[in-house]
Each structure stands twice: as C-alpha cells, then as structure tokens.
C-alpha cells in the first residue's frame, strides 16, 4: 500500500517540526550558566549563575559560613553543585536566632537532586536562645492503658494518633520548623483521621507507640543530649512486658537508665560515625523523595533534610545519596525517616508569603507528591518540630 500525503499537509508537518526545534533551541540558550556548567571547585553557585565564595577552607561544618538572614520563601534559592562531594553549605539564619537555627537549599547536577536542610544548635552558648524540641501529631493521641481500649483523648487506641500535615503542626504549635518522621498507615491528605504509628513514639516522656526492633530511632534526652539508636534497645529496657506497655506516669528511660524526653522511630540508620552503614551501601537502591535527620559528633547539632522526588526529572535519592548529603552538611550519624509522598519540611518565614504579603508565613520547602498530585501535602502521623525559647 502506497502512502503519498498531500503536499500542503506535508509542508505543514515540516513547518511544525521546524517550529518545535527553534523553540527547543531558544529554551536551551536561555538556561542560566549555573545550570549548564559545573560549579567551580570550592565555590557555591546560585540559580542565577552568580558565584558566591564560601569561607576560606570551608568544609561541611565550617563555622562562619553564613549568608543573609532569610525573610521569605522567595529568598531561599538553591545553590548548584556538580555532584554530592562538591556540596559546601551556605547556611542562612532565620529570625533573631542567629547561628542557632539556619537553612540551606541545594541542587546537584549528577545525580539530579534538589534538597533543603535545617541546622539546629542543640547546645547553644550561654545566654543564647535555646531550642524547643516538640514531637507530636494532631489533636488526639491514643492512651497507653493496660486494656488497650478506647482512650480518654477521644477514642483512639494505644499506638494510634490523629493525622496532621507538617505545615499545620508547625503553624498550630508556634514552631519555626518541622519534618515528618515515623512510618504509618493508612495514608491520605485528610487531617484528623486515625493513623497507626509503625515504630517507637515517645512525646514529653509519654509512650505513644511501641518500638519495632528492626528499625532505628532518634532520641532526645532530658539532659539535653540526642542520639540515634536501635529501637530494640527500648524493647530490651525492661519497660515492656509481653509486648505491652507499662505505665509511664513517672517518665521513660532507655536500657542505660538515661531519661528520655522525646523519641521517634524512622526506618534505618544510614550513617554511623561518618561512614555509610552496610544497608546504605546497597548497590542500586531505590529512589524516593526522602526525609532524614542527622546528628553531629557528640549530638550537639541536629540536621533536618528533605529531598524532592516522585516527579519527572526529580525521581528522588537513594539511601546512600541521602547519607552522603547529610555527611556533607556536617552530620556524623543519620536516620532515614518515612519518605515518598510523606516527605515534607516546613518553615515559618518572618517576612510573609513568597508574594511579599505582610506577616509570618508557614511554607513547605519541598514539593510533596501525594497520590500523584505535586504540591499536595500528605497528613502524617508524628512530626518533629523545632521552636525557640
């Protein structure tokens, strides 16, 4: 069968093809130099292609490596790096907290990753503002009564909480920053629904959910310290009998007797003493949007990290890449939290919304993707929030 289209139609097809090619050529030529060339070694490069020198000899945890104070979401533009080992964070302080709470946004060209990080000084100098750590959920938390039945908080069973978005958690509790933490079930974007907490949860010394020994957890102690430990350490602490919780009216301690203020489960530790764990070293690990936390050596500094994923061109990061980014930021130990559509890192900006509106504004830094809808934030179980005294 011969196919000989009409000449006029053939010319129209050719014309559309040429037009598409010219549009593509124009788009490529308009890409800023920072997105077409690798950043020079030892320098940070902004999205607009201007370079900014970091402090001389600045490494991942260099002091004094600070930019201007953040006022709005529009001020937080990512710095572009050729790869993960080239990342040198330029931390930008928020509000009047100075170096106590600072923010950094970055992109890597290979692999193509987009991430946001918050750094919190847990042990600030004397007379400096002190961090307020809060772990919680929506307005209801299941009771840890022996009968495992309905709770005095409104009918939720032990191990269950009411759902909330991270942005709502930050806004409603007067916090500066917040991130999702523990895995849960089921998932939806609706707040106020029942969520089963899959892993350890302790809030203000109150047990919310039992540990799962195959997973790890981030722990904040009443003495001001913090650590990443295996949840199995809590299962072995003698506070659990027959898989059920005892009464914790007088507080909660780990198996070493150190009194716990807050603890949240995640998935697995991905960084230990500055080295990737065996799990994180798995070849060709899956790519997802990621939420993760890290601690500096000694636990004096906390890092919150979120990495975009779930979109064309931004498929997300592996566990190894997540660990390496946290290491570049200054972390020595790190925990992979619930990710995918649950990943969200929210910040309270002092200068209003991105459009310049007056007043404070709580905004999610990354682009959550719930049920295939970019920008739709999932209602999660537990959130970790940072405020200031």
Which tens digit of pLDDT belongs to each residue from 117-137?
Answer: 999 999 888 877 889 999 999
Residue 281 falls inside a structural domain: yes
> What pLDDT is attached to residue 152?
46
> What pLDDT is attached to residue 384?
97
Rounded Cα distance, 244 and 207, in Å: 11
Q: Band the pLDDT of 258: cuts 50, 70, 90.
A: confident
Q: Which one is predicted more confidently, 126 or 226?
A: 226
| Position 141 pLDDT exceeds 80 | no
In the chain, % helix, strand, coil (3-state, to 5) comes to 15, 35, 50
- Collapsing DSSP states into helix, strand and coil, what is residue 25? helix
Q: Which one is predicted more confidently, 49 or 344?
A: 344
| Position 355 pLDDT exceeds 70 | no
| Position 80 pLDDT exceeds 60 | yes
| 94 token code pair | 């928020």
| Position 304 pLDDT exceeds 70 | yes
Contact assessment for residue 293 and residue 334, using Cβ atoms and an 8 Å cutoff: yes
> What pLDDT is attached to residue 249?
38
Mean pLDDT of 182-191: 96
| Position 27 pLDDT exceeds 60 | no
Q: Band the pLDDT of 139: cuts 50, 70, 90.
A: confident
Residue 155 falls inside a structural domain: yes
Phi, psi of 364 (to 5 degrees): -85, 130
Residue 2 falls inside a structural domain: no
Rounded Cα distance, 181 and 97, in Å: 24
pLDDT tens sequence across 239-250? 554 445 554 434
Residue 171 falls inside a structural domain: yes
> What pLDDT is attached to residue 32?
36
- For the chain, give the percent of residues with pLDDT over 70: 69
Which segment of 140-144, 175-179, 268-272, 348-352 scores lowest on mean pLDDT? 140-144
When the pLDDT of each residue in the chain is averaged and rounded to a whole number, the result is: 78
> What pLDDT is attached to residue 128?
79
pLDDT tens sequence across 96-120? 655 589 999 999 999 999 999 999 9
Pairing of strands 269-272, 275-276: antiparallel
Give me the number of domains the chain comprises: 1
Mean pLDDT of 20-42: 38
Q: Which one is predicted more confidently, 4 or 132?
A: 132
- Which of left, alpha, beta for 351 (phi over 0: left; psi -120 to 50: alpha)? alpha
> What pLDDT is attached to residue 153?
47
> What pLDDT is attached to residue 352?
53
Residue 342 falls inside a structural domain: yes
Residue 1 falls inside a structural domain: no
Which DSSP state fits 376? B
Residue 77 falls inside a structural domain: yes
Contact assessment for residue 135 and residue 383, using Cβ atoms and an 8 Å cutoff: yes
Mean pLDDT of 251-263: 76
Q: Which one is predicted more confidently, 266 or 256?
A: 266
Mean pLDDT of 277-284: 88
> What pLDDT is attached to residue 237?
60
> What pLDDT is attached to residue 16?
55
| 276 token code pair | 């990737």
Mean pLDDT of 287-300: 96
> What pLDDT is attached to residue 347?
94
DSSP assignment of 113-137 equals EEEEEEEEESSPPTTS--EEEEEE-
Residue 120 falls inside a structural domain: yes
Range of the domain at 121: 7-388
Q: Band the pLDDT of 146: cuts 50, 70, 90.
A: very low
User: How many C-alpha atoms does 362 have within 13 Å on its Cβ side?
Assistant: 19
């Amino acid at each position: 069968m011969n196919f000989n289209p009409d000449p006029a139609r053939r010319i129209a097809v050719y014309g559309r093809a040429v037009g598409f090619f010219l549009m593509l050529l124009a788009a490529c030529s308009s890409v800023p130099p920072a997105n077409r060339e690798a950043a020079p070694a030892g320098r940070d490069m902004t999205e607009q292609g201007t370079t900014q020198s970091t402090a001389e000899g600045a490494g991942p945890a260099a002091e004094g490596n600070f930019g201007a104070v953040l006022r709005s979401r529009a001020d937080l533009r990512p710095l572009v790096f050729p790869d993960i080992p080239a990342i040198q964070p330029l931390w930008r302080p928020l509000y009047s907290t100075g170096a106590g709470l600072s923010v950094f946004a970055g992109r890597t060209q290979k692999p193509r990753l987009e991430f946001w990080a918050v750094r919190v000084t847990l042990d600030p100098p004397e007379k400096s503002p002190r961090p307020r750590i809060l772990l919680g959920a929506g307005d209801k938390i299941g009771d840890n009564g022996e009968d495992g039945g309905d709770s005095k908080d409104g009918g939720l069973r032990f191990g269950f909480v009411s759902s909330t978005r991270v942005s709502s958690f930050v806004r409603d509790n007067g916090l500066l920053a917040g991130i999702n933490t523990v895995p849960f079930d089921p998932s939806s974007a609706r707040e106020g629904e029942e969520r089963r907490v899959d892993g350890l949860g302790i809030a203000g010394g109150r047990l919310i959910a039992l540990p799962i020994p195959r997973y790890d957890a981030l722990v904040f102690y009443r003495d001001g310290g913090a650590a990443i430990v295996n949840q199995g350490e809590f299962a072995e602490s003698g506070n659990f009998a027959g898989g059920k919780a005892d009464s914790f009216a007088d507080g909660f301690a780990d198996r070493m007797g150190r009194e716990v203020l807050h603890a949240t489960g995640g998935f697995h530790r991905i960084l230990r003493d500055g080295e990737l764990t065996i799990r994180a070293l798995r070849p060709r690990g899956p790519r997802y949007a990621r939420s993760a936390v890290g601690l500096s050596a000694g636990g004096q500094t906390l890092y919150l990290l979120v990495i975009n994923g779930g979109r064309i061109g931004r498929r997300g990061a592996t566990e190894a890449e997540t660990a390496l980014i946290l290491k570049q930021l200054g972390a020595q130990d790190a925990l992979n939290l619930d990710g995918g559509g649950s990943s969200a890192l929210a910040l309270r900006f002092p200068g209003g919304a991105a459009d310049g509106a007056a007043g404070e504004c709580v905004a999610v830094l990354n682009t959550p993707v719930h049920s295939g809808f970019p920008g739709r934030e999932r209602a999660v179980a537990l959130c970790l929030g940072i405020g200031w005294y």
